[in-house]
Amino acid sequence: MKKNKLLLLSLILGLLLTVVLTFLMMSLLSPSEGIIQEIFNAGIFYMVRTYFVVVCFAVLFNGLGWGFNNKILALIGGVMYIIAMSLFPSYFFFTLIQAVLSFIAFIMMRKEVQTINSSPNDTQL
Protein backbone atom coordinates (compact mmCIF):
# COMPACT_ATOMS: atom_id res chain seq x y z
CA MET A 1 0.00 0.00 0.00
CA LYS A 2 1.28 3.48 -0.91
CA LYS A 3 2.12 5.96 1.80
CA ASN A 4 0.31 9.26 1.77
CA LYS A 5 2.38 12.18 0.46
CA LEU A 6 0.22 14.83 2.12
CA LEU A 7 0.77 13.23 5.50
CA LEU A 8 4.52 13.21 4.83
CA LEU A 9 4.39 16.91 3.92
CA SER A 10 2.48 17.64 7.12
CA LEU A 11 5.07 15.66 9.06
CA ILE A 12 7.97 17.59 7.51
CA LEU A 13 6.32 20.96 8.21
CA GLY A 14 5.57 19.84 11.76
CA LEU A 15 9.19 18.82 12.28
CA LEU A 16 10.35 22.22 11.02
CA LEU A 17 7.94 23.93 13.43
CA THR A 18 9.22 21.77 16.27
CA VAL A 19 12.83 22.74 15.49
CA VAL A 20 11.90 26.44 15.40
CA LEU A 21 10.00 26.15 18.68
CA THR A 22 12.93 24.31 20.27
CA PHE A 23 15.28 27.18 19.37
CA LEU A 24 12.71 29.68 20.66
CA MET A 25 12.39 27.83 23.97
CA MET A 26 16.17 27.57 24.35
CA SER A 27 16.61 31.29 23.68
CA LEU A 28 14.00 32.09 26.31
CA LEU A 29 15.90 30.02 28.86
CA SER A 30 19.21 31.79 28.25
CA PRO A 31 20.25 34.35 30.87
CA SER A 32 19.38 37.95 30.11
CA GLU A 33 20.54 41.32 31.41
CA GLY A 34 17.76 42.58 33.65
CA ILE A 35 15.20 41.18 36.04
CA ILE A 36 12.34 42.55 33.93
CA GLN A 37 13.66 40.68 30.90
CA GLU A 38 14.00 37.49 32.99
CA ILE A 39 10.37 37.76 34.14
CA PHE A 40 9.20 38.46 30.60
CA ASN A 41 11.13 35.46 29.24
CA ALA A 42 9.74 33.18 31.95
CA GLY A 43 6.19 34.28 31.14
CA ILE A 44 6.63 33.66 27.42
CA PHE A 45 8.28 30.30 28.15
CA TYR A 46 5.33 29.09 30.23
CA MET A 47 2.83 30.28 27.64
CA VAL A 48 4.59 28.55 24.76
CA ARG A 49 5.41 25.37 26.72
CA THR A 50 1.98 23.70 26.43
CA TYR A 51 1.75 24.63 22.77
CA PHE A 52 5.18 23.07 22.20
CA VAL A 53 4.19 19.82 23.95
CA VAL A 54 0.95 19.48 21.98
CA VAL A 55 2.73 20.18 18.68
CA CYS A 56 5.34 17.52 19.55
CA PHE A 57 2.56 14.99 20.17
CA ALA A 58 0.89 15.99 16.91
CA VAL A 59 4.15 15.44 15.03
CA LEU A 60 4.57 12.08 16.79
CA PHE A 61 1.10 10.88 15.80
CA ASN A 62 1.58 12.26 12.30
CA GLY A 63 4.83 10.34 11.92
CA LEU A 64 3.30 7.14 13.27
CA GLY A 65 0.30 7.56 10.97
CA TRP A 66 2.57 7.97 7.97
CA GLY A 67 4.95 5.17 9.01
CA PHE A 68 2.25 2.59 9.72
CA ASN A 69 -0.10 3.98 7.05
CA ASN A 70 -2.79 4.19 9.73
CA LYS A 71 -5.66 6.58 9.15
CA ILE A 72 -6.67 6.78 12.83
CA LEU A 73 -3.21 8.00 13.84
CA ALA A 74 -3.37 10.58 11.03
CA LEU A 75 -6.72 11.78 12.40
CA ILE A 76 -5.33 12.01 15.94
CA GLY A 77 -2.41 14.08 14.61
CA GLY A 78 -4.83 16.45 12.87
CA VAL A 79 -6.92 16.81 16.02
CA MET A 80 -3.78 17.53 18.04
CA TYR A 81 -2.90 20.34 15.63
CA ILE A 82 -6.41 21.78 16.15
CA ILE A 83 -5.91 21.58 19.92
CA ALA A 84 -2.57 23.39 19.53
CA MET A 85 -4.29 26.13 17.54
CA SER A 86 -6.87 26.60 20.27
CA LEU A 87 -4.21 26.69 23.01
CA PHE A 88 -2.12 29.42 21.41
CA PRO A 89 -4.20 31.38 18.88
CA SER A 90 -1.39 33.77 17.96
CA TYR A 91 0.49 30.84 16.36
CA PHE A 92 -2.65 29.85 14.43
CA PHE A 93 -1.11 30.00 10.97
CA PHE A 94 1.89 27.88 11.92
CA THR A 95 -0.30 24.83 12.56
CA LEU A 96 -3.20 25.50 10.20
CA ILE A 97 -1.43 24.04 7.16
CA GLN A 98 -0.44 20.86 9.02
CA ALA A 99 -3.97 20.37 10.34
CA VAL A 100 -5.55 20.78 6.91
CA LEU A 101 -3.01 18.44 5.32
CA SER A 102 -3.58 15.82 8.03
CA PHE A 103 -7.35 15.90 7.58
CA ILE A 104 -7.09 15.71 3.78
CA ALA A 105 -4.67 12.78 4.15
CA PHE A 106 -7.14 11.07 6.50
CA ILE A 107 -9.93 11.44 3.94
CA MET A 108 -7.71 10.15 1.14
CA MET A 109 -6.59 7.17 3.23
CA ARG A 110 -10.21 6.41 4.04
CA LYS A 111 -11.15 6.32 0.35
CA GLU A 112 -8.17 4.06 -0.42
CA VAL A 113 -9.24 1.58 2.25
CA GLN A 114 -12.82 1.56 0.94
CA THR A 115 -11.74 0.89 -2.63
CA ILE A 116 -9.42 -1.92 -1.55
CA ASN A 117 -12.06 -3.60 0.62
CA SER A 118 -14.77 -3.53 -2.02
CA SER A 119 -14.27 -5.86 -4.93
CA PRO A 120 -16.34 -5.80 -8.13
CA ASN A 121 -17.70 -9.33 -7.50
CA ASP A 122 -19.35 -8.43 -4.19
CA THR A 123 -23.10 -8.06 -4.35
CA GLN A 124 -25.02 -6.14 -1.79
CA LEU A 125 -28.52 -7.20 -0.79
Contacts 24+ apart (CB under 8 A), 32-38: none
Residue-wise pLDDT for 69-124, tens only, equals 999 999 999 999 999 999 988 888 889 999 999 999 999 987 765 566 665 665 55
Residue-wise pLDDT for 11-36, tens only, equals 999 999 999 999 999 988 888 888 88
Q: Counting Cβ atoms within 10 Å, is residue 45 exposed (0-12), middle (13-18) or buried (19+)? A: middle
What is each CA distance from 89 to 24, 74, 92, 105, in whole angstroms? Answer: 17, 22, 5, 24
Give me the pLDDT at residue 120, please.
61
d(CA 13, CA 78): 13
3-state secondary structure of 26: helix
Mean pLDDT (the chain) is 88
Residue 125 has pLDDT above 70, yes or no: no
Confidence of residue 60 (pLDDT cuts 50, 70, 90): very high
pTM confidence score: 0.83
Exposure on the CB side of residue 81, measured as CA atoms within 13 A: 29
Report the range of poorest mean pLDDT among 4-8, 41-45, 112-116.
112-116
Report the range of poorest mean pLDDT among 25-29, 56-60, 63-67.
25-29
